[in-house]
Amino acid sequence: MFGWFRKSTRAGPTAITLATPDKQNPHFVHDPDEILKILKGLRHASTVISLYFPDRPQQGYGSSLIEVGRGALLLDQVNHPRGHAQLLAEKSFRALSKYKGVTVTFDCRLLGLTESDGVLRYRVAFPERIYYPQLREFFRVQVQSLKLPLHIRGRDAFGDADTVVGRVEDLGPNGIGFILE
């Protein structure tokens, strides 16, 4: 019953389609002040950011936000030489991270490189929009540190039992948030 779901969640990170800009889509943040707030949150949390190319979402390179400004962002150099070379050659890529437990994705356009203490940084344009699919109406309690197990049991059309395993991530007045393993 859950076999198809298990396969799709184990395939690794999935690309988020940002192809069609839609000002009416509530999952896109267009307000520069809100974008700045989210980016500063990522910066202050020292969150790992995966840099990848939309046509190759399975291959990401780890980075982090070093500096956030309205004109541009500074991203830390990726360690992988091939990833670094691809970023320099293609100049357009995508960033994927988490902010307050919610996926954040935005397009990056490389403006140039800077160097500080012998370490290269990527200077990228301030994003015009950010994909942020969860603007919460109610506070949610984060419980990842409790490592609460989750087991969902069900039966398929043939009556065979199946179990999906995961862990509880957060709790709110409207339900629980969980990750399947």
pLDDT in tens, 147-171: 889 888 888 778 888 888 888 888 8
Let me know the angle formed at the C-alpha of 166 by 155 and 14, rounded to the nearest 5 degrees. 100
Distance CA(49)–CA(51), nearest Å, equals 6
Question: Which residue is it, tokens 């541009």?
Answer: 72
Q: How many Å from the N-terminal Cα to the C-terminal Cα in the chain?
A: 16
Q: What are the residue ranges of helices labelled H in 62-161? A: 81-90
Distance CA(73)–CA(159), nearest Å, equals 54
Q: What is the pTM of this model?
A: 0.62
The model's pLDDT over 81-117, given as tens digits with 9 standing for 90+, comes to 999 999 999 999 999 998 887 889 999 999 999 998 8
Which tokens sit at 67? 């500096």
The letter for the amino acid at 109 is R
- Run of H or E residues at 6: helix 3-10
Which tokens sit at 100? 């307050």
Q: Is residue 177 very low, low, confident or very high in pLDDT (cuts 50, 70, 90)?
A: confident
All domains in the chain, ordered by first residue? 12-131 (2.30.110.10), 141-180 (no CATH)
Q: Is residue 5 very low, low, confident or very high in pLDDT (cuts 50, 70, 90)?
A: very low
